[in-house]
Each structure stands twice: as C-alpha cells, then as structure tokens.
Chains A and B, each alone.
Chain A
C-alpha cells in the first residue's frame, strides 16, 4: 500500500519547498547532459552531486532507498547486458570468471549503467519531494497547461490509494472463489481478470467524480481562478542554476580527463 500514497517530505527542506516546474526543469537539464554523455566520469560526477542533494530533500535516506533500489538493479543489468550484447571490441582483455571481456567494453558498459542511474535518480528526487497539488498548480501557473486537465488529473490521482485497495480486495475475492491462478498461465489470466475489474471500477468512479465536479461548477466557465499561488522564488532560480552548474562541471571534468564520449559517435 505504501507504493500508492505520495511520500510526505519535510516541507521546510529546500527541495520540498522548491517550485515543482523548476525542479522538473533542473531534472531535465541533468537528464539532457547525461543523455548525450555516455562515459563513466560524467555520470559519476552527476550522481555524486545528486546524492549530496539528498540531504536537502526532507526525506530520510532510508525512505528514499525504499523507492529507488530498483534503479540500482536496473543500472546493474543495463551494464551487464551491454557487455553481453555489445559490439565486440579489441584491446586489453579483463577476465571475469570464465568470460573474457575487453576493458574498454567494461568501462563503456559501466558508463551506460551509471548514466541511467543518474537520469533516473534526478527525476525521482524531483518528484518524490513534490506534493501532487503543488505540481498541478505549478504546471498550470508556470507552464500554462490547461487547468481542466491538470485539476481533472489531480482529482483522479487522489483516488490512487482507493484503486490500490480495490486491487487487494479483487485478489481476496479471487481466492475466495477458488480462482487464484496456478502456474505461469494462471497468474497471467488472473492478472488480466483483475485488470478488467479494476478498469471497470475506475471508469465507474471516474464518471461519478466527473458528475460531482460538474455539480460544483467545474468546466462551466471559460476561466478558472486558483486559491493557491505557486511562485518562482530566488531560491528556485538558484536550484536551477545549481543543476546547470553540476551538468557543466560533470562534462568539464570528463573533458579535462579526456574520457568524455558523445552518444552519437
């Protein structure tokens, strides 16, 4: 169930208090830098910077680890897979167990793995420190997204834990009816059965929610005001500047060491 409720970071922490659109922009800057740089050093520096930023997130490292451990796993697998399926490369060989791999291939694969971890982690850090309502407000006020869509999505997102509960009850109900799937095929069938039931429930709730929202005037007028202001403060610009600085620093160090590799090379 804990996967389905937003985390509640300490609202006074720097990242938690920052403007959501700016955080998205900062994460995008880092993602772009990492997208084009496929070497170990750039990714490494960015990751170090991000890990340092955890202190400003308002969440305990343990909570964060609980949501982000899959990134590590994915990064590891990407590294391994790239070594296995990578185009063969000559040069000095390293032996791992029974396999001989070129050192260059190893470094390259490690770079890809860390790069992925950096891209993923920057986004995660931006999002788990963000309150959904503030995100919607920011998307409307800073990025000029349609208020009808942003608020509609926000209202639906509020029901996520309810849908998660529905999913659990659907599992219990299947056990009660003797329909808990056995084996691989059984599990898949049960999964899709539950998916259909969940979607039916979701559409029903959505229709009711839409009626209730319209009953309070949603969508009736062309304009819509906002009760909450989402501003961009000086500290937010500092955050963005910091992200840009980190990106430049990472690429700079990598260039200085001669290790920088462009994606399209």
Chain B
C-alpha cells in the first residue's frame, strides 16, 4: 500500500475530528476465559457517564484487566463465554473500538516501532490515513503529552516513564473518547510513575475524556479520579462510589484481600532477640562496567553485608542497585575493586572473590532472588523446584523432600506442589522464588526488587518472612524502589547515586 494511495473507503471511516467522551453501560455482564471453569467476572452492573473518572481496584485475579479488555473490545466472543450486556454509548465495544484507547503496564511490550515518531504513527497507519494526514497528528500527540525528544529518537533509548509517555501519545493520536489504563505505572520507578500520572491528569483534564484506570498505588491515583469501583476476588462488584465512601466501609476487606488501601501502613514486624552480627560479604571499591560501555553501571562503592541484619539498597533508576545486588551475590565479576567473603561465610574456604566460587558452593552460601521470578524456574513442578537446591548441595533425597515440604508449608504453597511454576499467580511465583533460594539453606539472601508489582498481602508475607529470617541470623540484602517497605524492614540503608556521566 503506497502512502497517498490509501483506500478511499478508509478515509471516510477515519476518526472524527474531535473525540467525544464515551459513556459505559454494563448490565449483568460476565466473562469466562476459554478453558476455565470459573467466571473471571460476573454480575457487573455499571453506569459510567461521559467524562467521569473512575479508579478500578481489587485483589489480584479479580478480573480488572479482563474488564478493561472487554471495554476496549478486545475480547473475542469465539474465544470465551459472555453473559449479559456491555455497551459504550449504546454500541457493543467491538464496534466502538475506534473510540477507546488502552495503555498497558509493560512499556516494552506495547511499543511497536524502533523510532518514537513511527510508533505514534503506527495506530494512524492502522486506520489507513494517508501519510500527509498522519505526521501532523503525530506531532500534535507528542506535544500534547510533552514528549521532548525528536521524532527519530530510538524507542529503546527511553526510560520506562518516557516509554509510557510515548505509549500514551500513540493512544491519544487516535483521539479516543474513553481512556483505559491497565496499571500504567506498575513497572516504573516512583519518578516514572509520578510522570505518567501527571501526563494522564493533564490529558484527561484538557479533553474531558472518560477515564477508567487500574492502579495499584491507590493513594497516588486518587487525585486523578472522582469515583472508585472495587471488585472482589470472585469478579463481582464489591463497592462503587466516591473514594471516601468505598475505603471507609470496605477498607478492611480490601486491605485483607491485598489492595493497597490508602492511609494504611505496612505493619511493622515484631521485635525479636537477634544473634550477634558478623561480616559475611565485603565489597571494597567495587565498580562495574558492561563490556563496550563507556559509562559505569555501578560507581565505586564500599559496603559490608552482615548476618542478622537487613540492608536496603536504594537509589534512582540507573544508579546500579541491581548490579550491586548481583555483584554481592557473586554472579558478576567486578570491573574494579573486589567482593570477597568474610570469614563467617568462607569458613576456611579461603577468601577468593565470590565471582570465582563454583556455582554449587555459591548456592549453598548465598541465595539470590531475581526481580522476575520466572527467570529462576528450572523445572516443571513446584515441588521439584524446591528439591533441586538441596539435591545439588548433596543432601539425601528423603531429607531434601522433607525440607521441600517444610518450605511449602511455610510459604503457603502446599496446594500447588504438583503445579507448573509458570502457571502460578504473581504472588505465588514470588513466594516460590524466595523459597527456592532458601531451599539450599544459604547464610545470606539477596533480593532484587522483591515487592515489584506485588499486592499488599504478598508484601506483608514477604516482610514477615524476611524479618524472621533476619532474626534467625541470616543476612538480608534487598534492592528496592519501595520506600515504605525499606523503611519498615531495613536496619541500614545504602543509597546509591547515578554514576558520573549518567547513562541515557
């Protein structure tokens, strides 16, 4: 299809000049995904007026993403079961797709093209607009969200927040009347999240669009909305009304179900007797540079990891938190300086650099928990995952099975012993990844963003677990953006700043 040669018919069905805000009507609506017995959503009765701004909350698995997909017209009637009625301005969502825009959680999987301008143009190309009509709208959309880079700026050189900004521009270029946001800040650091909220607020204010947003940082999202709709774990509506009403009456129920209800702090773990602290890992002037990169990923840092202590590593994106975590875990070889085991960890093994330890030794001394639990799964059964570590450490099979059973019990995973790790929910995967690191009984546990994308319930479970481990005498190191979590758990905080000559 040559530009300029666009199908005449398509031009006439192009988007209207001005986006009119859309209203939503749902009557007894329900949806069931193919291959499932339970309904993801049921008995949804909802009336949202044009221009209203709604926050959708609910525990994990309550069907929030499914509801947004339904509103966006992305649910395939042949690929699932539907009950009741869902309409936008009286039309079925599949016919009103041009009037809705949906922004997703993961910036990388929603950008399509290698250059910023091309990505915004993507949606307009799909509408079959001729090239000379596309570029003015691209520039207008980029200006509307405040995108400051040139249109040929590479998309992979943008930070998470900027990528989301670009994604919003791509959606706004299509002039939707209903803006849907599915956890747009979940994968971002606090600065990126604030940026996205600011953009959304500005855009919605200026254009008076209808907004339905799912956001787990509820307190931060409240200023952007007038109304809160809460779902329960089964996918029905629990509450619907102004924020104060919903959280006053249902705050406890929601908090217990894992929603980050505003004005509720994380409960501090109990104070317990601890054994005395010994140094386990010593990092001396350690620095790391990726091969071929001029800028260090981690600037020269000194830190000591001690037993019976929780150390939080904080700092902005690009300051090297994850890199430091991997260096301390002996997974990366430092470009400068050293990371060695203290006597309490080495126990006569000698003080060679951790990066030189054989993998089996490392696993029994230091356990590492990665940001994405799926990166750590090696087998097809939860129980096998937990037995793998001890078996490799030379533990006998019956003893390993016992240890696995203990961990299953402790981390509430017993009912999932035979399941495939990849099919678990987000919180279950997180608990399993911590359990696999613990199975080899390491003296130190290093975690990279443990509360990333987790709901309140998992965060509290992790908090209790890590505090208990620390009080038993293990060393806990965690890299995190989550200030509240760090504040409650950490005994010491190491704050990293971006290496000089900051990376893009």
Taken residue by residue from 160 to 187, chain A's Cβ proximity to chain B (1 for < 8 Å, 0 otherwise) reads as 0110001001101111111110000000
CB distance from B392 to the nearest CB of A (A): 5
Residue in A5, A200, A217 whose beta carbon sits within 8 Å of that of B126 in the complex: A217
If A177-B388, A212-B109 touch, does A226 touch B125 (CB 8 Å cutoff)? yes
Which of B79-87, B98-106, B189-197 makes up part of the contact surface?
B98-106
Instruction: Please give the distance in Å from B317's CB to the nearest CB on chain A.
Output: 15
Question: For residue A158, which residue of chain B has the nearest CB?
Answer: B114
Smallest beta-carbon distance B349→chain A, Å: 15
The closest CB in chain B to the CB of A170 belongs to: B375
At the interface, yes or no: B450 with Cβ under 8 Å from chain A?
Answer: no
| Chain B residues, Cβ within 8 Å of A219 | 126
Contact between chains at A133 and B114 (CB < 8 Å): yes
Q: CB distance A174 to B378 under 8 Å? A: yes
What sequence of 0s and 1s flags, for each residue 168-212 of chain A, a beta carbon within 8 Å of any chain B beta carbon?
011011111111100000000000010001001100010011011
Chain A residues within CB distance 8 Å of chain B: 1-2, 5, 131-133, 140-141, 147, 151, 154-155, 158-159, 161-162, 166, 169-170, 172-180, 193, 197, 200-201, 205, 208-209, 211-229
* Given the contacts A173-B376, A226-B1, A214 and B114 also touching, CB distance less than 8 Å: no
Bound complex: CA A259 to CA B117 (Å): 54
Residues on A with C-beta less than 8 A from B10 are: 221, 223, 225
With beta carbons under 8 angstroms apart, the residue of B2, B113, B292 that contacts A154 is: B113
Q: Contacts A154-B112, A173-B375, A217-B98 known; list 14 others, CB within 8 Å.
A: A1-B292, A2-B292, A158-B111, A175-B359, A176-B331, A179-B363, A193-B378, A208-B110, A209-B112, A216-B171, A218-B126, A224-B125, A225-B134, A226-B2
Residues on B with C-beta less than 8 A from A161 are 156
Chain A positions within 8 Å of B135 at CB level: 227
In the complex with contacts A159-B108, A174-B359, A178-B360, A227-B3 CB distance below 8 A: yes
Is B110's CB under 8 angstroms from A1's CB? no
Shortest Cβ distance from A131 into B: residue = B114
Query: Do B102 and A172 have beta carbons less than 8 Å apart?
Result: no
Q: How far is the CA of A226 from the CA of B375 in the complex (A)?
A: 38
Decide if B113 touches A229 in the complex (CB within 8 Å): no
In contact, A209 and B134 (Cβ under 8 angstroms): no
Do A212 and B110 contact each other (CB < 8 Å), given the known contacts A173-B376, A174-B359, A225-B125? yes
Centre residue among B6, B109, B134, B440 by max chain A CB count within 10 A: B109
Band of interface residues on B: 35 or more
Q: Are A177 and B378 in contact (CB under 8 A)?
A: yes
Quick check: B363 and A176 within 8 Å, CB to CB? yes
B112-A213 in contact (CB<8A): yes
Q: What is the minimal beta-carbon distance from A152 to any residue of chain B, in angstroms? A: 9
A197 lies within 8 A of B112 (CB): no
B102–A215 CB distance below 8 A: yes
The answer on a CB contact under 8 Å between A228 and B97 is no
Bound form: Cα–Cα A215–B74 in Å: 7
Say yes or no for B49: interface residue by CB 8 A criterion.
no
Interchain nearest-CB distance for B225 vs A (Å): 21
A159 to B163, CA, bound (A): 14
Taking the nearest CB of chain B, how far is it from the CB of A83, in angstroms? 38
Does chain A have a CB within 8 A of B389?
yes
B3:A226 contact, CB within 8 angstroms: yes
In whole angstroms, how far apart are the Cα atoms of A179 and B114 in the complex?
36
* Contact of B109 with A209 in the complex, beta carbons under 8 Å: yes
Shortest Cβ distance from residue B110 to the other chain A in the assembled complex, whole angstroms? 4
CA distance A219 to B372 in the complex (A): 31
Task: Check A172/B326 contact, CB under 8 A, given A133-B118, A209-B110.
Answer: yes
* Residue pair A224, B128 in contact (C-beta under 8 Å): yes
Q: Which residue of A lies closest to B440 (CB)?
A: A178
Would you give 6 A-B contacts (Cβ < 8 Å), ordered by A?
Answer: A172-B326, A177-B359, A178-B389, A208-B104, A211-B69, A226-B3
Distance in angstroms from A96 CB to nearest chain B CB is: 39
**In the bound complex, how far is the Cα of B108 from the Cα of A227, in angstroms?**
22
The residue on B at minimum CB distance from A221 is B128
- Which of B3, B372, B440 is within 8 Å of A225, CB to CB? B3
* Chain A residues, Cβ within 8 Å of B106: 208
Interface residue? B436 (CB, 8 A):
yes
| A179 engages B367 (CB within 8 Å) | no
- Inter-subunit contact A178/B364 (CB<8 Å): yes
Nearest chain A residue, comparing its CB with the CB of B359: A180
Q: Is B425 an interface residue (CB 8 A)?
A: no
Check if A141 sits within 8 Å of B375, measured CB to CB: no
Known A-B contacts A179-B388, A225-B130, A227-B131; the reply to A158 vs B112 at CB < 8 A is yes
Check: B7 CB closer than 8 A to any chain A CB.
yes
The answer to the question of B300 belonging to the interface, with a C-beta cut-off of 8 Å to chain A, is no
Check B123 for interface membership: any CB of A closer than 8 A: yes
Complex interface: chain A residues within 8 A of B115 (CB) = 133
Contacts of A175 in B (CB 8 A): 330-331, 359, 362
When the two chains form their complex, are residues A176 and B362 in contact, meaning their CB atoms are under 8 A apart? yes
Whether A221 lies near B127 (C-beta < 8 A) is yes
Check A221 against B114 for contact (C-beta < 8 Å): no
Cα(A229)–Cα(B138), bound, Å: 16
- Measured in the bound complex, the distance between the Cα atoms of B115 and A131 in whole Å is 11
